[in-house]
């Protein structure tokens, strides 16, 4: 931008002009220079320029353009901040509506209700052989399911709540582990998608959403695969 230093003998008039509103609140200088302040400063500079070295009009236009671009950028930033705040509020309301909902999440722990069937899914990234699913509780293994060979993709399964000896298990939190062998004979773990219920939601400092499940586990929204009533 152009040099705003005043080099004429009219500096006294310039200082007087800048101090004229010293006793007026309306004319008190603001903390941030605006376009009006910028134009007033340029007008004073033109009035006090050295006649033998007049101000270059090109610099004047350049300075004015830069000031306009700066103000436009500031207003755009304010609009973006307002939109972000509005989005965060909407996200909070949407997250709160999930409380009490049944969900399918990518994880190992799931809630089981006695006398009902618990559905879950396996997500295979490649074909696997001799696939096994182990259901357990705090005491150890409850039930093992043998599924033989499975192709890549998702596979839906149901557990009737019965243990190896055919006894119905009580309501509670159970774990699910699935694995199989690949074409090279290596054991590969399988992603499990299990049912649960949302007990609470939290909005993190980075605006991401974390849900607390009935199992006590806290997972990010990216782990939620399905929401139902």
CATH number for the segment(s) 102-228: 2.60.40.4070
Bin 21: left if φ > 0, else alpha if -120 < ψ < 50, else beta.
Answer: alpha
Question: Which residue did the predictor score with more confidence, 215 or 142?
Answer: 142
Choose the most confident range, by mean pLDDT, from 45-54, 130-139, 205-214: 130-139
How confident is the model over 177-215, as pLDDT tens digits?
Answer: 999 999 999 999 999 998 888 898 887 777 778 889 988
- Reported as a pLDDT band with limits 50, 70 and 90, residue 91 is low
pTM over 0.85: no
pLDDT above 60 for 30: no
Residues of the chain with CATH 2.60.40.4070: 102-228
d(CA 197, CA 227): 9
pLDDT above 50 for 23: no
For a pLDDT cut of 90, what percent of the chain falls above it? 30
d(CA 14, CA 7): 11
- Reported as a pLDDT band with limits 50, 70 and 90, residue 56 is low
pLDDT of residue 177: 95
């Amino acid at each position: 931008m152009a040099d705003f230093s005043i080099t004429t003998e009219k500096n006294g008039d310039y200082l007087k002009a800048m101090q004229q509103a010293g006793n007026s609140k309306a004319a008190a200088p603001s903390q941030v220079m605006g376009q009006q302040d910028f134009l007033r400063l340029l007008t004073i500079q033109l009035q006090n320029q050295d006649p033998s070295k007049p101000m270059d009009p090109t610099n004047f236009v350049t300075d004015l353009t830069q000031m306009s671009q700066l103000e436009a950028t500031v207003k755009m930033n304010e609009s973006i901040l307002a939109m972000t705040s509005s989005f965060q509020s909407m996200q909070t309301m949407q997250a709160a509506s999930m409380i009490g909902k049944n969900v399918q999440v990518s994880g190992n722990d799931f809630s089981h209700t006695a006398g009902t069937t618990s559905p879950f899914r396996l997500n295979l990234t490649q074909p696997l052989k001799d696939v096994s699913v182990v259901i357990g509780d705090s005491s150890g293994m409850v039930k093992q399911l043998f599924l033989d060979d499975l192709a890549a993709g998702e596979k839906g399964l149901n557990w009737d709540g019965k243990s190896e000896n055919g006894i119905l298990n009580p309501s509670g939190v159970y774990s699910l582990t699935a694995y199989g062998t690949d074409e090279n004979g290596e054991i590969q773990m399988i992603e499990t998608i299990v049912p649960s219920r949302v007990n609470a939601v939290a909005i993190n400092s980075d605006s991401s959403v974390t849900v607390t499940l009935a199992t006590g586990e806290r997972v990010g929204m990216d782990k939620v695969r399905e929401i139902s009533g």
